[in-house]
Structure 1
Amino acid sequence: MRLSMTQAIATHEEHAVQTGVVLIPLNKLKKSPDNVRKTPHTKAEIEALAASIHAKGILQNLVVAPEFLESGAASGFYFVTIGEGRRQAQLLRVKRKQIADSEPVRCVIDTGNDAREISLDENVTRSAMSVMDEVEAFAGLVDGGMSVDVVSRRFGCTVRLVEQRLALARLSPKIRSAYRKGDINLDVARAFAINDDHAAQDRVFRQFAKPITHAASVRNALTAGRIPAHDRLARFVGAEAYEAAGGHLVRDLFEVDIVFFDDGELLQRIASERLDKMREALTAEGWGWVETLTGHGQVEGCAGERLHPTQRKLKAAEKKEIGQLEAKVEALDAKLEDAEEDNPLWTERDEAEAKLDALREATLLFDAKLMAHAGAAVAIDRDGRPVITKGLIKRGELKTIAKLRKADEARTGTRSGTSNSADEAEETSAGPRFTKALTERLTEARTRGLRANLAANPTVALGLLVYTLMRQSADRSSVPGVGIEARAIGFDDDDAMEKARISYAEKADEDELAFFAACIDQPTEKLLGMLAVFVAETIDLTHGGVSFDDKRRQRMGDALAAALDLDMTRHWEADEDFWSSAPKALAVAALETSPAIAGLGEQERAGMIAAFQKMKKAELARTAAQTLKGAGWLPDLLITPSREGAFAVTAAGANAIAESQAA
């Protein structure tokens, strides 16, 4: 029963309840209904209190008020007005069997003050300890001989939290003073802790206008010259191999994902050694030369032509295993449709796809005589994965290869080094993964763009028609994704093509012979225009990116897009829905190259990229959609490749053009 304070005092006097400092059994203490703190203590707070009490005892008495029955008699229980957190910490210790539930607790019985008022007073009038005072006090304990482990146990916090406090305590006196003055905030102070060198901290502090509020800029300035862990070379080598070779990693105690490789030369040496082993393996295959690229460069002096392998006939066991793996990848894609990037099923899918690629590659054979005059290149993609490109031909070897091919053709009657399945051997970058469903969505969008452009380009449509009919006549082989058999493929086309198709098709409702005669009488230019529309209507290059046929469709789409100079930015743009389905790694990579981020300094850009990597997928999807809107970004599946012989502007060329325009 709850009584007013006047009633409680009167009852206390009548029944002689003990006052002052007393020891009360823990199981006689209750949570007070008058405690104004309605938001409960967190689990971590209670655990920290329990650890502190276990190490040092209860340093501050609890304030309690007696509970009275309706009769006015004391119940023997007490409401905790001040110290509810300590009561809960003791209950946790009971649960851990550190104390009995009858453990005596030192309390002050207060019947002279209003319980609500003193509860409010306790929570409002006290002031929090300064962060710098706190961290310096922790450092004092360690300097006094207490280990980090002991401090963490006695204060009920993690070792990492103690190390974070010690890192702040080790900041230069100037930085700690700046925090106390308000010249930097706590996030900036944490950023200064990335480098223990006081001189470097003070130098960077002088470089910025006060107050300093941008932690990433400070961190970037203090890590200049170090290699971020998200760098392609760092990902290729890996932290474990780097440390095993004696390398030192600089980890941000306050940001788990921020790690730097301290020794760039060691990182480069390890990467070069790995690439050398890959070079040796490729040389052993019979390639005339092998180049390795650790940066963003490209092999110089290569012609547009490439060697292509032929595919040997698959054995029954190989066909079966490939079919099983394709089915497994497709099933995993279905499960991963809306999965996060860290879902363990992605690893299982990668392993299955790698095995599938290895089986396919084992069936592809290059001509040994031609290989001796061609080469291969090993590069590292943005995710740190090696990308091997085979069949590269230096311009100086073109004549030699042509002579070898001609001699082989004269001897066998067949073309050497080429085949109908050559497109299956083209190397592709091991970029971020797409599920089958997302690949189908992207290639469906590309098909829509191809059909629209083909309908407006009679020359390419005529060429495609002749090419398809010749293939069917010569070896009865089909062209992937092209259904020219007087059979239209229904599709959600854009308005312009749909109107053209309807306007021409309406005339087919006339008398058959009259319509045929009308077609014959049309000018060639008009017939070509009609032909383009109806050839375009046979195109469907949608695929899931899994099977051999899917890869052939992608190659055919690339060739057709190049012939049409297809600009997919006019037909498609990455929206939030796309980014929600795409891998996080792709979104981060796209943002990294966006105009808004690419224009930043190296260190600031690294900080932004690290922030993107920490975002939840939904937040990252919104950020990517907003940042890249109107930027013309396209995934690799939708990029139109340059036609052979076409000019491509390199980064150096773009800079030269910009300089000439500025002049």
Structure 2
Amino acid sequence: MSPQVHQYWPHDLVAGGAVNCRPGEEDVSDLVASIAAHGLLQPLVGRLTADETVEIIDGNRRLKALKQLFDAGLRLDHVPVVLRDAESEADAFEVSLAANVLRKPLHPVTEFEAFAQLADAGKSHQEIADHFGITLRNVEQRLALGRLHGDVRQAWLDGRIMGEAARAFTIAPPEEQAAYLANATRPHQLRADTIRAEFTRESVPAGRNIARFVGADAYRAAGGEFVADLFAVEPDFADGGLLQRLASEKLTSEAKRIADEERWGEVLLADAHEARDKWRWERLTKPSLPGDQRPTGVAELEEQLKALHAQVDQVDDKLDPLYDSEESDQTEIERLEAERRELEAEIDRVVTATQALDPDRAAWLIVPAEKRAKAVAIVGIGHDGKLSIERGYVKGKAASKPEPRTALPAPAPKAPAGAEEAPEPTRLSTALLDDLALTATRATAHVLAEHPRIAFAALVASQVAWGAPVRLNSEGRFQGPALGWPNREHGTNTAFGEAFRTCITMPEERLHQMVARFVAHSLDFTSKALLNHSLNSLKPEAVQDLRCALPAEQHRKALVGAFDAEAYFKAAPKQEALNAIADCGDDAGKHSKLKKGDLAALASRLAGTHGWLPPVLRGEIFDATAELPRVAGDVVPGEEADAPAEPISASEEHQSAAEAALQIWKDQEEETPEAVPIPSNYTQKTPDLRAILKQRGVTVPFGATREHIIGLCETSEPAAAEIEEAA
């Protein structure tokens, strides 16, 4: 038997709270407007209780709306109700649940499209608002969403974008919406904030301090337009450039007014380059303002402010326990929150009134006029969008040019014999100091690679202390020594496993040598390691400790070999060349009138002859010059050349290329890290066997010894002649 429809007055029906799957107080204003306009489209569903009362199990929200309409005299009709046979509470609840689950809600897109169809059919916005019982702004928002580009609406239906993103799209015209959506290939591009930022690149949010400082009225009067965003509380300022100009003009005007009225020596804008150094300047002490000189009304306003803050504290004391309790009266909470908002608004009003009286200005005007005439005031925009004035700065002296930074400080100059005062040290450029630091790095690395014990000590120490010259976590091996040893390259095919197996099977002594070389690769004494505001910034004393630990004679040989005297004297001041000439035992005075190029050439030759090192390289470790063993065949100025060498014997002539290369390689490693471009008693030509093999297409395996590399050269074509020539 099918259920029958019965008619009842609204107040004869009871809402089924126990069986309703959506209990609680709900706003039904939308239903009130809809039923008033269209009537009740579907009967309610109810059941008879034991006391013959009709209890609604499906349609409680509609019943609530019908009762409101009845009480207002807008609908005095009976309510149709389908009565079901008596059933248990569980069965009744199941009916309520099924009705709500099966009643599929409209997707927002469908709803908003329907609003747009109403407007297109000739309905005015106000008529639609009245018809559905919503505000005019709600109608305009729904129409904007209903008129989104079709692709955007479809993306919303498909779940590709969310409602917040759809609202962000309403800022732009439909064609721009579609273009942006078509190019949005990454998830973050479909976030609401990203979409809004794309369409408002030139705009400034209304809440930003610069917008509040200029004000909407002044901006509008200057021809400024606003972003049409129906979902924003305040529209953004569309023309950021115009807003910036208006703010600058207003600040300039305020600066002129303050300068005229208060007679400061200078009034700067806060964004001026000079004003950014204010933290370096001293500041006058603001005088205390006597009570009788305070602007009228300031004391009263301060008392009001104090009382208002006390009232806010009292309201908070009442609200805190209500928030913590589950049985609190929601109406009381809302009343107290409203009271708190009113107090905060009153506090803002009092603060604004106090600032208008400007007691700060009155206090600063006590400063004598002659002091104000030498001081500076700075005007800017505060975080709250109001004019900010900082008074009483006194400019300091211009900052002196900072000393070039280096981890290799030169020793203090010593007074020459017979003189009372030491000469002023020569000031070197940052670039030249870095060149010397690079030279010291290369020389130290060259020696360190031959001393595994020192290298291991430096490695361990670098991991337990800050500021070490071993920079394992940097690009030190590329900016530092640049030695011709095995290293990772972008095109390397060596796998870690292969390298690891090679290393693990190496003799321990050989492995120690490899570790020493790689630690040497990681050295860096240059300014790149002098990190600003870092605990691990290179410390000069750390460099000094490491350099002092190296064998002195070997270290000095490496320094002399790595030092490019010709390039140094070309870049250094002329006085540095004269100092070197004097250090080498020559009379600097008789050469003082030479041109810089000639003087540099002379100093370079003497430096090569005497093993001269500049103060930055020798530090407190070495003397300026040292007589080192010479290489056969080199000519020292003032001495005759050696007699022609004896003819090479047949046995020597047929010495294997491997033996010749190995001997020269050993000599080279003992004497100097790399060849230098000037004649010197301390250098030899370095055989670049790796380069020869690379030209022949021969790959040098990781971990190859010198003997292995020489053997590869011997077995590749062409063989011995090239090796001997390279050697």
Q: Normalising by structure 1, report the TM-score.
A: 0.48
* Structure with the greater alpha carbon radius of gyration: 2
The structure with the largest strand share of the pair is 1
With a CA cutoff of 8 Å and minimum separation of 6, indicate the structure with the bigger relative contact order. 1
